[in-house]
Chains A and B, each alone.
Chain A
Amino acid sequence: MNNEIIVGYDGTGCGHAALDLACDLAKGLGSKLVIAYGYQPYQGAGEIGTQREIMRDQGQAFVDEGVATATGCGVEAEGALIPQRPAAALASIAEERDARMIVVGTYGDSPIKGAILGSTPHKLVQIADVPVVVTPAAGA
């Protein structure tokens, strides 16, 4: 196992909550952070070219921002931009890098709402093969 913690970060309040917690954990455990963002446009309705590019650029900005924040807190961090749906992206990079755990934020969706809207933490806890830490976003 690598001493790495994967953080799902999307620039929103939810991502900030996850990043804050992950920084604390990384300090305590001496881990390195991997700031991850998964993106994939819905593919069932024709071409997606430009949308994919915009999402990639936007994701790169999130990842850069997350890495900067973590580095600013004194934690070693790198970014990972993965062209897959968020939950699948986090699970696959955790498996690939044999990470210690995944940290994500949640908006506090109920199970039904999560099932309808496709809540990332809901999916992630079922498909990840490493521990998943879920933290509520501020105000959620």
Chain B
Amino acid sequence: MSNGERRASGERDRALGGPTPPAETPSSAASGGDKGLKGGAIGFASSVVIGVASTAPGYSLAASLGFVVAAGVGLFSPAVLWVAFLPMLCIAFAYYYMNRQDPDCGTTFTWVTSAMGPSIGWIGGWAIIVADVIVMANLAQIAGLYSFLLVGIDAPSTIAVTCIGVIWIAIMTAICYIGIELSARTQIALLGAEILALAAFAVVALVRVYAGDYPDSIDPSLGWLNPLNIDSTTALINGVLIAVFIYWGWDSAVTVNEETEDPTEGPGRSAVVSTLILLAIYVIVAIAAQAVHGEEFLKQNKDDVLSALGLDVLGSPLDKILIIAVLTSAAASTQTTILPTARTSLSMGAVRALPKIFARVHPRYQTPDFSTLLMGGLSIVWYFGLTLISEDILGDSIAALGLMIAFYYGLTGFACAWFYRRELTTSVKSFFAVGVMPFLGGVTLTYVLIKSISELAEPGKRDVLGMGPPLAIAIFFAILGVVVMVLQRIADPEFFKRKPSVAEPGSLAPKTEAAS
């Protein structure tokens, strides 16, 4: 057999087993030749949809708005929501430029490894995996609860919610394992319905507030948007840490854009459009939600603000629209959280930062089967375990998630500035977009992280080992991560011998199609 020779022929995406290469089909998706480049496979509307759907606005709001308010920011949660976006925007620059250099599915893991070395890169990858396992549990909790609300059962027992939640995780994992793909049109329809439901809620709520339908309503004020009105810096920071969670996934809009639009055009109109849509949804829905019954009501119903308000605002049976929107949002976000995470562990397995089996791809379903199933299994174990241990599972795990997201996003920001450090002086634009913005994002998130850790380290009401449960969760996973890393290093030291690298000269110059 002489196929080995042909494989080394330099054809990256179209290796051929025969002596006569067939002509390129026009539909060939990999015509760019560069790994991961999709060559205009996705249109403008679809990439806007992916950007918004990745963040799952309905689910994010349902899961976190109450906790943002409960962080002590009072009526100024709309301000927190947009302030939290700023560090995310900075980090998006890091994603954009690191992805341009290496559009690998390992994202933070791959990029931090090449910029700062294997151990720290490994921990970054670990943070992504842990965050995914936790968010699956969280998603399952919301999905389980909303499943009951949909059929009209208002106060299901924790056991019942947990059982339905576990079934949800199983179904979502199966979907990702089998590789069921929603067509672009289905995604647009689902997201359209979700946005419409949220908009209907916000508009009806505001109209009824101004009409005086609620005795305890508060008229919205522009001051709600001003973060300087928040007296306590601690409250602002805690709020931001939770609100960071609602923008989680938004970065994939930026990286997908690189692959969908004219690469010379820069970060793309669709990233801008999806960002504006997201910001508008979050701020307007938050304003409407707290106007109806004030912020105390949101605090009391922080586990599920949207369903609590839905009935009051839209009335039955229209409130079901909102519940369906949150459910579809939770379901849609599986494709945008499980898939990229399974690909992170796949990427780690491929370079032997994790056992090789993580890199296995199912021959028929063409998905990273082992990675996907393990994530699902771990999420179920975690969800069950946490339900037994902690009475306030949702809040603790979201706050812990915030810590992890802040950690690995911040790390990515620093990695970008560091990786391109010798290219930053080539132009003013490079200096700010590749250096200052990612670095600022990293500094901000690190500050939020440290501040929040020191808060959580203070003894409180529901302590685990003398610290707040979210911190205990985060520390547990950090230690577990170091243990797993050391074990992997003993088992297979190859990956850990890698040396950090630096961007090649001229790598920030505008890319042309011909270069690939």
Contacts and interface: CB of A to CB of B under 8 A. Distances in A.
24 contacts: A10-B363, A12-B364, A44-B42, A44-B182, A45-B54, A45-B336, A47-B104, A47-B105, A47-B107, A49-B105, A50-B110, A50-B350, A55-B361, A56-B15, A60-B7, A67-B3, A79-B3, A79-B18, A82-B28, A83-B14, A84-B29, A92-B25, A96-B25, A116-B180
Residue from A14, A34, A39, A50 whose CB has the most chain B CB atoms within 10 Å:
A50
Interface in A3-59: 10-12, 14, 34-35, 39-56, 58
| Chain B interface category by residue count | 35 or more
Given A34-B18, A79-B17, A81-B16, A46 B28 contact: no
B41 A43 contact: yes
Interface string B324-350: 000000000001100110010011001
A129 interface: no
Contacts of B17: 35, 60, 63-64, 67, 78-81
B366 interface: yes
Interface string A60-86: 101110011000000000111111101
A50 B343 contact: yes
A118 B181 contact: yes
A40 B364 CA distance: 11
Contacts of A63: 3, 17
A45 B19 contact: no
A53 to B, nearest CB: 6
A45 B335 CA distance: 7
B516 to A, nearest CB: 13
Interface stretch (B30-38, B150-158, B212-220): B30-38
A63 to B, nearest CB: 5
Given A39-B366, A41-B366, A92-B27, A49 B35 contact: yes
Interface string B355-370: 0000101011011100
A73 B399 CA distance: 62
B455 interface: no
Interface in B232-259: 252, 255-256, 259
Contact of A83 (B29, B103, B256, B359): B29
Nearest to A68: B1
Given A79-B3, A118-B181, A54 B359 contact: yes
A118 B104 contact: no
Contacts of A87: none
A140 interface: no
A129 B408 CA distance: 49
Contacts of A67: 1, 3, 17
A74 to B, nearest CB: 16
B27 A46 contact: no
B18 A50 contact: no
Given A42-B179, A46-B107, A93 B22 contact: yes
Contacts of A86: 366
B412 interface: no
A121 to B, nearest CB: 12
Contacts of A117: 178, 180
A88 interface: yes
A135 B36 CA distance: 34
A14 B25 contact: no
A3 B278 CA distance: 56
Contacts of A49: 35-36, 102-106, 110, 347
Contacts of A12: 363-364
B99 interface: yes
Contacts of A93: 22, 25
A63 B18 CA distance: 10
A12 B363 CA distance: 8
A12 B36 CA distance: 27
Nearest to B4: A64
Contact of A82 (B1, B14, B106, B256): B14
A78 B15 CA distance: 12
B472 interface: no
A41 B103 CA distance: 14
Residue from B178, B180, B346, B364 whose CB has the most chain A CB atoms within 10 Å:
B364
Nearest to B360: A54
B338 to A, nearest CB: 9
B29 A42 contact: no
A124 B7 CA distance: 28
Contacts of A58: 361, 363
Given A54-B350, A96-B23, A64 B339 contact: no
B444 interface: no
Contacts of B364: 10, 12, 14
Nearest to B343: A51
Interface in B90-118: 99, 102-107, 110
A44 B50 contact: yes
A88 B104 CA distance: 25
A111 to B, nearest CB: 16
A51 B30 contact: no
Interface in B15-73: 15-19, 22-23, 25, 27-30, 35-36, 38, 41-42, 50, 54
B343 A84 contact: no
Contact of B187 (A39, A44, A46, A64): A44
A46 B22 contact: no
B392 interface: no
Nearest to B350: A50
Contact of A46 (B23, B25, B184, B252): B252
B346 A44 contact: no
A92 B26 CA distance: 10
A96 B27 CA distance: 12
B504 interface: no
Residue from B107, B336, B350 whose CB has the most chain A CB atoms within 10 Å:
B350
B13 interface: yes
Interface in B154-192: 178-182, 184, 187
Contact of A48 (B18, B19, B343, B359): B343
